[in-house]
């Protein structure tokens, strides 16, 4: 009976670690998105200076953003599934 009571604590610790790691990743992602949005706004405000390199940069960062959001979605799904399995 004692082992049954201790097991959820270990699982909760793993989920807590996953959530903390995801929080750190989201914080970094937020900082980068904030910088990127400011850069995009500046470029749009000065649109006469948009060159081929800038356009390529937009494309690269757009793909990066989509990849990051997909990774975060997958991590959240993993945490959710771990949480559901823990309750069973």
Domain boundaries, the chain: 2-87
Q: Alpha-carbon distance 54 to 88, whole Å?
A: 51
- Per-residue model confidence as pLDDT tens digits over 61-70: 889 999 999 9
pLDDT over 80 (residue 1): no
- Per-residue model confidence as pLDDT tens digits over 35-80: 888 988 888 888 787 888 988 988 898 899 999 999 999 999 988 8
Residue 45, φ and ψ in degrees, nearest 5: -65, -30
Q: Alpha-carbon distance 6 to 8, whole Å?
A: 6
């Amino acid at each position: 009976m004692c082992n049954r009571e201790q097991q959820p604590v270990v699982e909760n610790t793993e989920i807590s670690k996953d959530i903390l790691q995801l929080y750190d990743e989201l914080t970094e992602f937020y900082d980068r998105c904030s910088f990127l949005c400011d850069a995009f706004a500046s470029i749009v405000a000065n649109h006469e200076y948009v060159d081929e390199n800038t356009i390529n940069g937009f494309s690269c960062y757009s793909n990066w953003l989509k990849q990051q959001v997909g990774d975060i979605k997958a991590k959240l799904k993993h945490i959710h599934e771990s949480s559901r399995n823990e309750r069973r």
